[in-house]
Every structure is written in structure tokens, then in C-alpha cells.
A and B are shown apart, each in its own frame.
Chain A
């Protein structure tokens, strides 16, 4: 059993080493094949473990070696397989292998093909470390590792300077969060004398509820999560991260890495139940994130930017679920979001591929007959995220909405508005891309073609998952409690008080209320669908350049000028400090050093005139000097 667990982690590392070291001289199909197969093999092993594992199983700890021991705390390089990590591993390797397969087609013409797959394998390895580590140290290694891979892959086309800048922005924003995570981990170790989850959970009971220490720990960990999961105020890197190749956006910046923050909080639920204040803060951050990101997504023209803000907004939903204590709902939405957002990103990649690299929706339109498979799968993805009844996204989002209602109906209203906005921007995206007239150049129209099978196959699989993915956790009123598989599955990793709090809240909602809430959201979905269709298909409204928008549309297109604000506040400050330092260096330090050197040179220049080469002169000076010495000597006596 232990060897299988090591194999899951080591297979992607093996793929990385092979492709990274020898990939350059191997044919492309072999490189892509190895990369895909190692991840798929890891997925198969994870599935095997999953079959042999059930909701009552105890966590399996697979210890590779003792890493170090400090102040009586032993830190092992070991992995923990339990219900939560197994779920994450299956999402990562499952969706990961689909995206690897897709990338073989998508990246086929790229010169850095082998480099791309090496990075992708390294990313999967790091992500597995993150979710499988049995203590916060291993988690931190993975956390930094995925940050590095994200940096490498965003800046994959590093010859474009803007892309390089986007990569650096992502890296720096993440570093801010990482500092929070690191402080939280150190505080945990200091107060509980342990790094591994099981011991920390056992020792956590000694914290007093809402004490300053636990608040600090939970807040610090959540700062880490805001960086990685792109929450306010550290979210601005994620939209820029779309500079990377589209499969990267699908895998790293939609399905897996950005959910690490959610995973962290769920994993640490034994700490968060002790800090209700922090949970309220998390709820607020999530609401703000979901709202502003959905607002930005309304008027973006870049197809990937819309999806990026949508991702930020959906991550906001997961964080809201955490904030109201609905950990299962957060994980459920994490999973369904991984399905449909990976599908949407890969679909958009297929569109971009067909359009010959064009990402601007102003130059798309009417693609539905040209690229049929992409069109249908993309429509399914749109339905899933927008809330088509019984599609995965609707079921998981509904669970969050109900939990929010249980906390306070006001939160439900806000979430309802955000859901309406989600449906709006997604249908806008869909209609602008696939309906109406083709607005691109003649050349592009001629070039239009459906992607090869290795790209459409992942789309189809993900489309199926996006439809049926919700059935593993049907709400009570539909499944009558018999189909809450995910909730039962995740039950062992949540503390009793975490479950108790939510159940107490949910008991307050009658079945009738729940029916009414679902009816309203479903009605909203169809209403939005019709309205958006009317605007973009019947009236034929077209997107315009950012600058031509007015009023709220301009605010949305310009993202409320947050980037500009950050530039003015932080970037300028740092640049100012840098400029000040440079001034001090050139005007003070350099001058001092120059003065010493120039002084020596000048004095040398003036002294050398004494050496005029006339021997008589030397003799004269010498004899006069001797004479003076003698006279002085004589007088002094």
C-alpha cells in the first residue's frame, strides 16, 4: 500500500526528469505520451486506492524517511492518504491527464514542446506533494513548488516581455500570501509542538475559542490562501496569468493550483472551528471577491479574461462556503468547478486554436457550425457554470446558496445576484463566440477547423463529467439524503463541531423554503438566458473596445481601476524607494569613492612636475636642503 502511495507521487517526477533531461532529442509524440501516461498511471493507482478505501477508513500514513528533528518536533517526509487527499489526488491526476492529452494537440507546433511537458509534470508532482503531504512542511514545499511551476508556465512564451511581467506579478503576489502561510505554520508548530495534521488536530483543543493565538494562526493561513486562491486583495495576478498557454490556464489556474487555498482551509478545519471570527472575515472576503470578479467578467473582451475572472468569482463561492462552515459544499464546488472550468478553458483553447491564436471576442462569432464538438461541449460547460438545473455546477452552487441562507438571508441575496451575473457573462461569452456573424478576417475564416481528436476527447469526457458530476452529492430535497455521497465521504476529515455548527444552521431551513430558493434560482437562470440571448442574438449587440465603453460598462472593462490603484500605491512606492536608493548611491556613495581616487590622481599629477629630468636641479635641491638642515641644526644648538 505504501509503495503505491509513493508511486503516485514519484511517477510525475519521473516524467519530469525524463522529459526535462532527454526531451529535446525525443520525438514529440514520445514526450507527450510519457508525460500523459505517467499522470494517467498515477490516476489509475489513485483509483485503485479509492476502491480499497471507504468512508470509514482510517488515514494511511506512508513515511518515506525522517527528514529532520528540531526542538523535539520530528518532521517526517511522509504522505497521508485520507478521504480529502484522495479526492484531491483524483481530481489532480484525472483532470491532469486529460489536459496533458489535450496539450499534445494544442502545443504541437510549439518549439518548447518538451519543456512544456516537463513543467507540466513537475507541476503535477508539486501539486501532489501539496495535497498528499502529511504535515504542513510538505504542504509548504508543494505550495512553493506549484507557485514556481505557475511562474514558469505563465512565462512560457518568455520572449514576449508582457508575459514575463505577468509571470513575475503572479510570483510576487503569491509570495505575499506565502509569507502569511509560513507565519501560520510556525505559530502552529510553536503552540502545538507538531507539524503533522493528526497531532496538530489532537493538540488543537488546548486553544481557547476565538483566542488571539488561534485567530492569528487562522488569519495567517488564510492570507496564504488569498494569495494562492486569488482572493481580494491578492487576486489581480490570476487574470494576468492567462498569458500562459491555455492548457496551463485550465490545469493550474482553474482546476487545481488555485484551489489549494480552499484545500488548506478544509484541511485545517480543526483550527478554523475554533476561530469563528476569522470565518466571518473569510466569508466577507469571499463575498467581495465573488462580487467584484463577476462584475469585471461582464465586459471583458478577451475570451480567456472572462473565464479568468469567472474563476476568481467561483473561487470566491468556495471561500464563502468555507466562511459559512460548509466545508463539504466548498469541496463539492471545487470538484464540479474543476470539471466545468477545465472544460470551458479547454474549449476556449480549441476556439483560439481554430482562430489561429485570436483571443478577442470582437473578432469571433458564428463559430457554432464550424467547430461543432467544441461548440456543444462549450455550451454544456456554460450551462453547468450558469446553473442549468441538475447540471453539476447548479447542484454544488445551490448547496453553497442554501448554506449562506442558513447563515443569514442577506448573504443568499448577494450570492443570488452574483449567480445572475455569472449566468449573464457566461451567456454573453457563449453567444458572442458561437452565434451571429463571423467578424474575423477572411484568412481566419478560411483557416477555421475543428481540433484533432486528442483535443476533443478531453472536451467530451469533461462535458460528461460537468453534466453528471453533481449527482455524487444531491441536495436533501431531491436525493432524500440517500445520495449525499460526498458529504458522507468527507465526514471523517471534518471535526464533530465543524459538522455540528452547519447542521444546526441548516435545521433552521424548512423544506418549503429550500424548494422556493431552488425555484427562484432556476427561474433566474432561464430569465437571464432569454434576456442575454435577446440582447446578443436578436438585437445583435456587439462588444466594443475597452475605451469606447461608458458608465458601469467602462468600470467593468477597466476592472474598477484596481490595477492602477495598486500601481499607484505599491509599485510606485517601491519604485520611488528604488529611485531614492539610486540617487543616494550615485550622488553620495559614488562621489566619496570618486573623491578618494581622483584626489590621489590629482596629487600625483601635480607632484610629478618636480621630476623634470634635469640632474642639476635635483642636486641643487639636495644641496640647498642639506644646507638648510645644517644651518637650522647649527642655529638650534
Chain B
């Protein structure tokens, strides 16, 4: 309903512009265009150009960076770290999203029922989202400490301390756990909103028909929540694939590159190895992946809106 209304309203200015000539319209458009060109277009193009140059420390002073074509991309792809970084990025993203979404959904369903203190508890669960990432990361790093961390203090009770940040097998799970903890509130809030939009009458009807709790979730909640689910997963994907601060604070990409993802590797290439061209190349690959998922998201969004409007 609302959507159709805005659609109608939007048509009026178009006709006005046609009558009054285009210059005023362009003038109003100019700030946005300028903003997009200066803050999005230029950096993007500059990064593309840099990825095709042998941009070294010297280039900063002399301004000279020889054009090398796709050599930076070739070097990056041939680097043994490339597979590690891609694999870590995939594991990190999939691992984070699966648990963030699963736990977020479970909590959302739990909190959709009214009980004493549910609102208070729900707002407390938002805390991870409100904390600065560097703070969360630093605290988790401290909790993960092998010798004095609180996690191992508990695990030692059952005689199974884990070398969280010092072993190459456990470091990735450790950063994934941190990121799951950070991501749950986002999933909880959006899914909770989606649940509230489902008319309670449907549940009543289902209950009258004798549907069990699980059946009500499976045949009422899940299908009606689908549009929201799509958006949450897609946004989660785009947010997670570019996570940098959490990994940087908790492990710094180590130990022995065990938690090096494309973002941290791109940073390391540029600002540790000063191979700016290669760093830019990895950055561009990442932009490419994020854009692909972004387009997918927009498409699913359009489908959802069309569905909601019809």
C-alpha cells in the first residue's frame, strides 16, 4: 500500500522537471554527483590504477610507478598465501554467518514470547553490538590467553585447556567465535522485527488446527520470515567478508598466517611488505567479491519488494 503511494508521488517532480528545463535539476544533483565521484569514484579508480603499477616506497616521493599490467595480480595469485587467505576468508565467513544466524534466530524466537524481563534481557543482548570492535577484540584476546585466560581456567577444570591463539588449528575458530558473539545482536534484532510482523492470528489458527510448536515454526514462522532471512544473510555476508578489525586485534593474522584473510593480507602486503601494488590487487579482488554479493542482495531485495507490493 505505502509503496504504491510513494510511487505515485514520485511521478510528479519528474513532470515538473520536464516543464521547467533541466538546469535546476542538475544543480540539485551536483552535490551528490560530486560526492560520489570524489569519495567513491576516484578512490576506486586510483586503487585500480595502483594495482597495475609497481608502486613502492620510492613511488611516494618521486611519484613514479612503472606500469606493470597484470603482474601484481599474477604475483598475488602465485603466492602460496593466496589459497590460505581465500580458504580462511571462506571458513571465517561461512562459520560466522551460520552460527550468528542460527543463534540469532533461536534467541529471536525465544524473545518473541512475552515473559517477565524479556525486554530488558533483549536490550542487554545488544551490548556486543554497541561496544567498539577494538574493545571487544582486546577483551576476547585476553580471555583466550593460553596460560591466564578465563576460558582455559574453566576448561582446565575438565582438564582440556585449548591453545586458542597459539596454535594454527585453534586460532581461526577463536576469531570466528569472537565474530559470532559480535554478530548475534544484529541477527537477533532484525529477525525479532521480522517475527513481530507475523500476524498472531496465524499462530492461533495453527494451534486450533493442532499444530505442534515445531510445526508452527516450520510452516508459519519460517516461510513468512523468508524475506527478512534473505536480507539478514546477505547483509551478514557482505559485513563478514570484509571484517578486519576483529582479526587484527585478536590475532593480527597469525600465528603463522593461520587467520590471514583477504582483508588482513591486503593490509599486510601494503603496510608491512610495502608492496602497494599487490595490496591494491588483493583489495580489488575483495571489492569484486563484495560487489557480486551486493548485486545479488539488491536483486533479492527487488524481488522481495515486488512480492510485498503485489
Q: Do A and B come from one complex?
A: no
